[in-house]
Amino acid sequence: MWSSLALFGGKMNDKFVIEMQHITKVFPGIVANDDISLGLRKGEIHALLGENGAGKSTLMSVLFGLYQPEEGKILKDGKEVKINNPNDATALGIGMVHQHFKLVECFSVLDNIILGVEPTKFGLITKKEARRKVMALSEKYHLSVNPDAKIENITVGMQQRVEILKMLYRDNDILIFDEPTAVLTPQEIDELMIIMREFANEGKAILFITHKLNEILAVADRCTVLRKGKYIGTVDVKDATAEELSEMMVGRKVQLQVEKSDAVPGDVVLSVKNMVVASKQHKNNAVKNVSFDVHKGEILCIAGIDGNGQTELVYALSGLEPIVSGSIKMNGVELSKQSIRKRNLAGISHIPEDRHKHGLVLDYSLEQNLVLQTYFEPEFQKNGFIKFNEVRHYSEKLIDQYDIRSGQGSITTARSMSGGNQQKAIIAREIDRDTELLISVQPTRGLDVGAIEQVHRQLVAQRDSGKAVLLVSLELDEVMSVADRILVMFEGEIVGELNPKTCSVQELGLYMAGAKRDDMNGGEK
Amino acid sequence: MILLIQYTLIYASCLILVALGGMFSEHSGVINIGLEGIMVIGALGGALTMMYMPEGVSPFLIVVLTVLMAALAGLAFSMLLSVAAINFKADQTLVGTAMNILATAVAAVVVKAINTTASHGDNVSAIVRYIEEHEAFIVRWNLGEKSFFEFNWFFVITIVALIVSAVILYKTKFGLRLYACGEHPQAADAAGVNVAKMRYSGVMISGVLGGIGGLVYIASANSSWDFKYGVAGAGFLALAVMIFGEWKPWKIAGAAIIFGLFRALSNVYTAFPLLMELNIPSNVYNMLPYIISLLVLAFTSKSSRAPKAEGIPFEKGQR
Amino acid sequence: MKKKFKLDSPGMQTFLASVVAIIAGLVVGFIVLLCINPAGAPKAILTILKNYLNFTRPNLILKNIGGTLVRTAPLIMTSLAVTFAYKVGMFNIGVAGQYTIGIGCCMWAALAWDWPWYLCLLFAVVGGMVWGAIAGFLKSVFNVNEVISGIMLNWISLYIVNIWLNNDLTKETVSPGTLQLHNYAKQGMIPTLGLDKVLNNEYFGPSIFVAIIVAIIINIVLNKTVFGYELKATGGNKHAAKYSGMNDYRNIILTLAISGALAGLGAGLYYLTGIEQWETSASSLPAMGFDGIVAAFLGGLNPIGVIFSSYFIKHISIGGTMIDLNVYSSDISGLIVAIIIYFSAFTMIVRMVLKRLKERKAERGEKQ
């Protein structure tokens, strides 16, 4: 008990606007926050660092009144307060930009901003005053928005501005930013950093949740680190290095480099030519005239910021979405008009981006999920009846081979498994199909460091066994360390081909942000 | 012709009220398949009020009391949906279906019990009579010899309800919050809106309007009603009106008039020589609204305007 | 492993939830009876529960067992239709319409075309199947929610069948009812195979056995076959099903078509016994469809479970017609059924209570 208090002991004379003491929050089966304390000063940017699942978002949801902690208390200006719901938080001046924006899509920007604090006259909403205030705020902080635009019609970066304006409109002076940079372009990130700094200079207190070290080093004053729901420590950023912070975050020295030999590319397995894919979100095409080849024995990585057409590209390759024009050839056979099943049988394995949407039937048992791609093969069925013994046998084999852990083995419901083990099950299923091409989309999303390393090793092993691997990743580190060849996608086009050995992260970043591009169409094809 | 207009207005009034009720419920995020049942119970409340109305009560008071009781009955019955859907996160379609079955059974049991007791077992029907009381709702306008238009106070109630609904939905903070709960309850929650409370309100409004709608259905053109038949699918037709009206008050009003016309035609088409000659069975007119809705749905569902979060129980922790 | 009743197994929970719902329904029904006339209430509720056991003469008991079973058969079919669709993630509220179309088809085939019974039955199946497939088509191609299209199709089917059978070939001249099969279309009646003699009930035939066999087949299809695996995967997560190469469009249409076929078969199995006429002036859908939803949920959405829940519902509905109708109305059993369905939507509560019980037990265990 005393030990964690002592962390603050030396700084008791500093005034904290918000202090969270010994917060413990338990969800069924997991302690999301285990005795976490945190103090926030006026005018500082306080980073909250931790991996996925470290408990950052939970802690902030507690502060924002979305969850009630089992233990611990919250102090505002030294006085204990109860935050039972977001209204209480707002009353205390706490505002939050959520990781998944909380905006009503069919509402206008203005309606979203005033929702919950609507100014009224005779019971009717009066928007005139609200509009004036929003316009003034947006001018002051250079957050230009069109108050009458519908949320569904504006960009993600713009939506984030609306979220920020929501806090400002409520006169919040304690601002929580939950992973705000994940959806932004580098330029937008820079702008956001400037705005955050501006807020801090004005005396607002900022909590900045992230797992990106460079952002913390760039903008934060202090940094609190969480790991697996536990409090690790708080450091002054100016005295800290990236290595120290990352070690605090993951609990050991991180081996960022993946050990692998040089690739020995063989024949072309997949050949994509002039492929165009329509977008479901907007009228433009999501993938514009893209051409590339994937060879045997190489890991080709598609890099880019989220939402630049990678998802649609993979959907088109796997057959989940039709293409507008172009061709997809696998070993010379045209696939673009084929059904998903035919493509799978032609030799495509696919570790999907969203494991809950595409990867698993959550109410099916583990074994049923493990045969999701093969249940119709003679190995598992006879005259239309499933061979349950074979399925069980196969499932036990995969569980053993890929170290999939679950409560009741083969008969565990997928829903009750941890995210990491769900992902392991999908990877096992897709790799074990032994196909020529493995499409792997963000295979390490949401996994802890140990699991990430394991996935990377498996990808490299696939490559070494002569398969073609197409990896789509948003993580720069992953791209640089795993890929043999990098294609950068920006706004639906491939804007550059890079060699991870010779290019720098900065260069890659410039391509990803659209600041630099090569003419790809005149090139190799 | 006058009769056709009159019937169209009656059916349209009924459909507007009930569809508006459905609209409030769905904008709050709760699918209300139980509108039919709510109508039956509202109708029952109103019918019994009229039946037990002492003689000599002023027509105005009759109207007020009857409408009030119908609204209260509908409101009470709608609580079955809100409790199950909001507190217990039950399957809303299933609960709605249960409510429809329940309402008809309750109405039949209650009315038969009353009739049986009153007649010492001679009358075991489910018919309620309110011959004189129902006159209170009607003002006859003479249009020359032997023809008159029956103006109905329900028309006024409907128009008021329509205007008030539109204002509430689009101009008040209640409306904004309700709408948000049906579209993105997590966003509403984060903005400090009590989602459960708003959803309760939405369902309760649908109970009130559905209850009055049920009364309109049985009392505006009839002086007695056999509760054996419930309200013969009017609640489902209102659901079709709501969908056809894209969950928007004014469009709902338009859709209700079109659908009301079809219903009216099925009743009075024999008065039109032209339609008589066509010899189309009344069932065709009854069927048309459903076919039209189905076709419209088929061509617009890809870009459906239905509230996004309807039918999905709200869990606080979800993103 | 020793087989043991586990309170936390999903099957057990569903069963307990159903029992709780039934008890709640009966209690409410009893209270209503008490309100109407306290003196006769205990006797009335017992009468409902006893159904054919109210009789003392063996042949009357048999006759009424037969009557109950004849009416149970179509209910098993409609509840199977609901169950089957639900397993694939669809709420087939349109079962009433598919059943209605089935009635129209078999009546028309028997009375107007003088078809033999097996073709009439087949026609009813095809009719229901087509009607179900329309909803499936609308869902898979046009993305129309099956609940909404089902509701519309229900009413359309009612009016179509009314128009269709309102005809000199099929309708009695003096009443809105269709012609009696045993007078006008004996060839269209399902042969009773002598079973009518066994139970002393002229309508009792092999229908109930057909229904039970179909239930068993559906259970096998859902749980043991590749087809069932695909369907349940589509129901559980249609995106994952699509991703794995299953044809989700086809599966959705096929599911609702099969569901409709089951409902149509139910209509044939019932109406081709000649037990009932269709009223061409009907203004509401046959209760068999919505009762199918009740029975499906009460039976825990399990093809075998619905055999029992269907029987139970018919048992008390027919029991309801035996109470003193000069005091109470027979609708009381409809009320009980409606309460049961309402409460079976609350399976959550039962699960929560069971969970809490278990936790308390565990706590006590820890203390000792």
At B211, which CATH number? 1.10.3470
| Per-residue pLDDT at C123 | 96
Distance of CA A159 to the CA centre of its chain: 17
Instruction: Determine the Cα–Cα distance for residues B62 and B145; give it in Å rounded to an integer.
Output: 30
Same domain, A161 and A304: no
- Judge whether B216 and B20 are in contact, CB under 8 Å: no
Structure confidence at residue A13 as a pLDDT band (50, 70, 90): very low
What is the per-residue DSSP string for A198-214? HHHHTT-EEEEEES-HH
Q: Is residue B312 part of a domain?
A: no
- The H-or-E segment that residue C110 falls in is helix C95-111
C347 to chain B: closest CA residue: B90
Please name which of A166, A198, A188, A163 lies closest in space to residue A178, comparing C-alpha atoms: A163
Query: Which residues, other chains included, contact B14 with Cβ-Cβ below 8 Å and sequence gap of 6+?
Result: B154, B213, B216, B217, B220, B234, B238, B260
- Residue B90 DSSP code: -
Instruction: Determine the Cα–Cα distance for residues A154 and B250; give it in Å rounded to an integer.
Output: 28
* C240/A contact by beta carbon, under 8 A: yes
Same domain, A447 and A495: yes
Q: How many domains in chain A?
A: 3
A422-476 pLDDT tens trace: 888 999 999 998 899 999 998 887 676 677 888 898 899 999 999 999 999 887 7
What mean pLDDT do residues A316-320 have? 93
Residues of B whose CB is below 8 A from C279: none
Q: What is the pTM of this model?
A: 0.86
Residues of C whose CB is below 8 A from A347: none
State how far residue B224 is from chain C, nearest Cα, in angstroms: 17
Q: From the list B84, B106, B298, which residue is nearest C345 (CB)? A: B84
What mean pLDDT do residues A503-517 have? 77
Tell me if B319 and A98 make a contact (CB, 8 A cut-off).
Answer: yes
Q: How many domains in chain B?
A: 1
Instruction: Determine the Cα–Cα distance for residues A300 and A293; give it in Å rounded to an integer.
Output: 9
Instruction: Determine the Cα–Cα distance for residues A456 and C298; give it in Å rounded to an integer.
Output: 49
Q: From the list A352, A363, A373, which residue is nearest C236 (CB)? A: A363
| Per-residue pLDDT at C349 | 65
**Helix, strand, coil percent values for chain C (each to nearest 5):** 75, 0, 25
Query: Which residues, other chains included, contact C253 with Cβ-Cβ below 8 Å and sequence gap of 6+?
Result: C133, C136, C137, C139, C140
Q: Is residue B272 part of a domain?
A: yes
Positions in chain B short of pLDDT 70: 144-146, 301-304, 316-319
| Per-residue pLDDT at C169 | 85
| Per-residue pLDDT at A511 | 83
- Judge whether A112 and A153 are in contact, CB under 8 Å: no
Q: Is residue A403 part of a domain?
A: no
Question: How big is chain C, counted in residues?
Answer: 368
C141-196 pLDDT tens trace: 888 889 989 999 999 999 999 999 988 888 888 888 888 888 888 888 888 888 88
Which carries the bigger pLDDT value, residue C18 or residue A398?
A398
Q: Among A254, A284, A308, where does a domain finish?
A: A254
| Averaged pLDDT of chain A | 86
| Per-residue pLDDT at C142 | 87
Same domain, A323 and A292: yes
The interface pTM score, or ipTM, of the predicted complex is 0.87
A46 vs A126, A167, A204, A316, CA distance in Å?
A: 37, 17, 11, 42
Same domain, A136 and A54: no
Judged against a pLDDT cut of 80, whether residue A4 lies above it is answered with: no
Positions in chain C short of pLDDT 70: 1-10, 347-352, 354-368
Q: Is residue A399 part of a domain?
A: no
**Helix, strand, coil percent values for chain A (each to nearest 5):** 35, 25, 40
Structural domain range at position B72: 2-300
Q: Is residue A372 part of a domain?
A: no
Same domain, A146 and A183: no
Instruction: Determine the Cα–Cα distance for residues B40 and C23; give it in Å rounded to an integer.
Output: 26
A118 to chain B: closest CA residue: B173
Q: Mutual orientation of helices B195-219 and B35-51 as an angle, nearest 10°?
A: 50
- Judge whether B227 and B107 are in contact, CB under 8 Å: yes
The 8 Å CB, 24+ separation contacts for C45-54 are C47/C319, C47/C322, C47/C323, C48/C316, C48/C319, C48/C320, C48/C322, C48/C323, C48/C332, C48/C333, C48/C336, C49/C316, C49/C319, C50/C319, C51/C315, C51/C316, C51/C318, C51/C319, C51/C322, C52/C318, C54/C319, C54/C322
| Per-residue pLDDT at A85 | 85
A115-130 pLDDT tens trace: 988 888 888 888 898 9
Q: Is residue B318 part of a domain?
A: no
Q: Is residue A370 part of a domain?
A: no
Instruction: Determine the Cα–Cα distance for residues A372 and B260; give it in Å rounded to an integer.
Output: 51
Per the DSSP assignment, residues forming a β-bridge with B165 are none
CB within 8 Å of chain C, chain B residues 58-117: 80, 84, 88-91, 93-95, 97-102, 104-106, 108-109, 112-113, 116-117
Query: Which of B26, B189, B197, B248 to probe the A interface (max A CBs under 10 A)?
Result: B189
Structural domain range at position A143: 103-171
Instruction: Determine the Cα–Cα distance for residues A478 and A482; give it in Å rounded to an integer.
Output: 6
- Residue B198 DSSP code: H
Instruction: Determine the Cα–Cα distance for residues C74 and C203; give it in Å rounded to an integer.
Output: 13
Tell me if B113 and C328 make a contact (CB, 8 A cut-off).
Answer: yes
Q: Which amino acid is at C93?
A: I
State how far residue A337 is from chain C, nearest Cα, in angstroms: 14
**Four-CA torsion A163, A165, A171, A177, nearest 10 degrees:** 40
Residues of B whose CB is below 8 A from C142: 297-299, 301-302
A344 to chain C: closest CA residue: C245
C317-331 pLDDT tens trace: 988 888 887 778 888
Q: Is residue A17 part of a domain?
A: yes
| Per-residue pLDDT at C177 | 87
φ/ψ region of A15 (left if φ > 0, alpha if ψ in -120 to 50, else beta) reads beta
Instruction: Determine the Cα–Cα distance for residues A520 and A275; give it in Å rounded to an integer.
Output: 13
Q: Is residue A430 part of a domain?
A: no
Instruction: Determine the Cα–Cα distance for residues B165 and B248; give it in Å rounded to an integer.
Output: 10
Q: Is residue A423 part of a domain?
A: no
CB within 8 Å of chain B, chain C residues 159-178: 159-160, 162-163, 166
* C119/B contact by beta carbon, under 8 A: no
A30-83 pLDDT tens trace: 778 889 999 999 999 999 988 766 788 889 889 988 888 889 999 998 889 999
Instruction: Determine the Cα–Cα distance for residues C116 and C122; give it in Å rounded to an integer.
Output: 10
Helices (H), B220-248: 234-244
Residues of C whose CB is below 8 A from A414: none
At A217, which CATH number? 3.40.50.300
Q: Is residue B216 part of a domain?
A: yes
Same domain, A68 and A131: no
Instruction: Determine the Cα–Cα distance for residues C45 and C30; give it in Å rounded to an integer.
Output: 6
Structure confidence at residue A302 as a pLDDT band (50, 70, 90): very high
Same domain, A244 and A275: no
Residues of A whose CB is below 8 A from C244: 340, 344, 372-373
